[in-house]
Chain A
C-alpha cells in the first residue's frame, strides 16, 4: 500500500495533474480570505467593462496635482492612433510631405506626430489619391490636432445661482498620484454582463463546480461500485436484472435523461446539490459495467474460492477479497467521473437547465450569461475565455492524474 502510494507520486503525469488540481482547489479557498466582497455584487452599471483599474474621476480632480515634464501629447497620440493610421501617415509624409524615406524609417511615434504636424497640408497636391482617402486624412488630421492640443482645461462647479464657477484649471502637464485617489477598483478580468467582477465570480464558480463534480463523482461511483460488486459477485437472475437496468441507462443517451430530469424537477427546486446528484445518478453505468466485469473474473480466482471454503460470509468476501482488487480501478473511474460531472453541469447550465440560483455562480452559468449577452460577438473575451480555460484546466489535470494512475496500476503501459 505504502509502496503503491510512493509509485503514484513518482509518476510525473500524476504529480503534475495533482499539483494543478489541488492548486486550483486551494486558490478557491484562499482567494475569499483576501477578497471578501460578495461575488455576485453588481459593481458596474452596464455590460462588460474591460479588465483594468478603474479610478474615480471626481477623486482625481480633487487630488493634489504634480507638474511633470513628460511628453504627454505624443504618449496620448501614440496610444490613440491606430497602427493602420500610422502607416497611412508615413505613406502620406513620404509621398506628398517631402519627408525622405530614411528620415521616416528612423522616426518613432513621437517624431512621426511632430513631422505630421509640421508637414501636413490638406491643400497640398496629392496625386493619385482618391477623394475619400483625402477626406480621411483631413479627419485624421483634425483628430491629431485635438489630441495634440495643449489647451488647459477648466474645472468648474455649479454655485447656488446655477452658474458655473471656475475652481481650478488643469494643464496638460499636470498629474495626480494614484495613491492619492481614494476610490479605485481593479477588475483583473473585467466585469460581466451584470457588472460583476469576473475574477471573484469565477473563483466562486470554480469552487461550486468542483463541488458539483465531487458530489456527482461520488454518487456515480458509489452507485456503480455497489451495483457492479453485487451483480458481478452474486450473478444469476440478480445480475441479469442489474445488467438490464445498466443497459437501459447506457442505451438512452444520459444527457437527454439529464435534461428531462432537471426539467421535470422544476425551476425552483434545482439547487446545486440536486443537480450534482442528478448528474451522478445518470452517469454510473460505465463504472458499474467495468466493476462488474472485473468482479466476474475475480470471483473465480483461487483466493476467493479459498475464502469461501474458509466459511466467510458473502459480505466479508466482497469487502476483503474483491473490493481491494478493484479499488485502484474505482479510484481512476472516480477521477474521471469528477471531470465528466463538471462538464455535464457546464453543458446543462449552457442550456439554462443548471442550478437556478441567484446566490451562487457555476462555470456553466457564467458561460450561459456570457452567451446570452453575446459576449463572444462584441469581443468581451474576458467574460467567457477564463471560464473555458478553467474548465479545460480542471479536465486536463484530472485526466492527467488518471493517466498517471493508469500507468502505475497497469505496468504494461509503462514506457
Chain B
C-alpha cells in the first residue's frame, strides 16, 4: 500500500479558507497540504471547530478556495463556471452526517435512485434495465429494492437511509466519495454495516473515500491514511497504524489519551 504504487487523486497545496473580512476575519482552514491517493480510505480527524467540514466543502467544490490550489488527478482543479463544476461533480460525491436532512422528503426513494441513473446517462434505458440497476445497488447495501418502491425516505430508519445513500453512490460510481461523519448520528450496530460498505466500495470499485470524523477510533478502524486536524492545520498525517498507535504530535497523543479505552487502563488523572 505504499504511496508510490497508487495514482494521485486529490492533492492540495497551501489550501486556505478565510471567512469574513477585516476584523471579523477567521481562518477556518490554514494553508494545508495533502496528498490523497486513489483507492485509499483517508480519514480527516478533528474536533468540532477544527475546520474539517470547511475543508470537505472545499474539496467538494461547494465553496471557493481562498488561497492555494487543489490538484485533481495531477491537474490543477478548475471549477469556474457551472459547466466545469458539473463535470467535476461527476467525479466526486458525498454522504453527509444527518441522513434525515440528506433527502428531499417530498421525493420517493425510486426517484432518488432513478435520478442517479439518469445522471450517469442511463436516461433512455428501458425500465427493466433501470430496475435491474436499482435492485443491484440496493442489494449492494443489503436492502431489498422491492420493499422500498413507493416509500418515502423518512419511513426508513437512520441506518437504512444512510445505506440508501451508499446505494446512490454505488449507482453514480464517482472516483471520490467524501463521507462527512456518516455514522455519527446512527446507532452503533448500524454503524458497523456502513463502515463495512465503505470498505467494500474501496475494495470492489477502487473508490477513494475521504472519511471525515471526530472519532479517532473509527478513523483507526477504517482508514489507510489519517490526517489529524487542529485549528485549521494538519498536525500529523500518515498511515493509520503508525499515526494512531504511535502518535508523534502532542495533540494526537492527547486525543487518543482522552478517548475511553477497553483493553487498556483509561487514565482519568491526566486531564
Contacts and interface: CB of A to CB of B under 8 A. Distances in A.
B269 interface: no
Interface string A302-320: 1101111111000000001
Given A302-B96, A302-B98, A307 B119 contact: no
Interface residues on B, range: 20 to 34
Contacts of A311: 86, 89-90, 119
A306 B116 CA distance: 11
A308 B96 contact: no
B104 A305 contact: no
A1 B107 CA distance: 11
B94 A309 contact: yes
A308 B104 contact: no
Given A309-B60, A311-B90, A302 B119 contact: no
A301 to B, nearest CB: 5
B270 interface: no
Contacts of B66: none
Secondary structure type dominating chain A contacts: helix
Contacts of A303: 101-104
B94 A306 contact: yes
A32 interface: no
A305 to B, nearest CB: 6
B166 to A, nearest CB: 13
A309 B98 contact: no
A309 B93 contact: yes
Contacts of B89: 308-311
A305 B89 CA distance: 11
Given A305-B62, A305-B94, A310 B116 contact: yes
A240 B103 CA distance: 30
A52 interface: no
Given A302-B98, A310-B119, A311-B86, A321 B104 contact: yes
A253 interface: no
Contacts of A305: 60, 62, 94, 96
Contacts of B98: 302
A46 interface: no
Given A308-B62, A311-B89, A324 B94 contact: no
Nearest to A308: B62
Interface in B90-111: 90, 92-94, 96-98, 101-104, 106-107
A324 B105 CA distance: 9
A321 B92 CA distance: 21
Contact of A306 (B86, B90, B97, B102): B102
A148 B65 CA distance: 103
B136 interface: no
Contacts of B33: none
How big is chain A's contact interface, by range? 10 to 19
Interface in A271-304: 301-303
A303 B115 CA distance: 13
B110 to A, nearest CB: 15
A296 B89 CA distance: 23
Residue from A306, A309, A324 whose CB has the most chain B CB atoms within 10 Å: A309
Contacts of B96: 302, 305-306
B64 to A, nearest CB: 12
Interface in A222-241: none
Nearest to A298: B101
B101 A309 contact: no
Nearest to A304: B104
B104 A302 contact: no
Contacts of B92: 309
A307 B93 CA distance: 10
A305 B104 CA distance: 11
Contact of B104 (A1, A309, A320): A320
A305 B62 CA distance: 8
A300 to B, nearest CB: 9
Nearest to A311: B86
Nearest to B180: A302
A321 B62 CA distance: 17
A308 B92 CA distance: 12
A302 B101 contact: yes
A405 B96 CA distance: 32
B184 to A, nearest CB: 13
Interface in A125-142: none
A308 to B, nearest CB: 7
Contacts of B102: 302-303, 306
Contacts of B103: 303
A80 to B, nearest CB: 71
Interface string B108-130: 00000001100100000000000
Interface string A94-137: 00000000000000000000000000000000000000000000
14 contacts: A303-B101, A305-B60, A305-B94, A305-B96, A306-B102, A307-B104, A308-B62, A309-B62, A309-B89, A309-B92, A309-B93, A310-B115, A311-B89, A321-B104
4 A-B pairs closest in CB distance: A302-B96, A311-B86, A324-B106, A302-B102
Given A303-B104, A305-B94, 13 more contacts: A303-B102, A303-B103, A305-B60, A305-B96, A306-B96, A307-B104, A308-B89, A309-B62, A309-B92, A310-B119, A311-B89, A311-B119, A320-B107
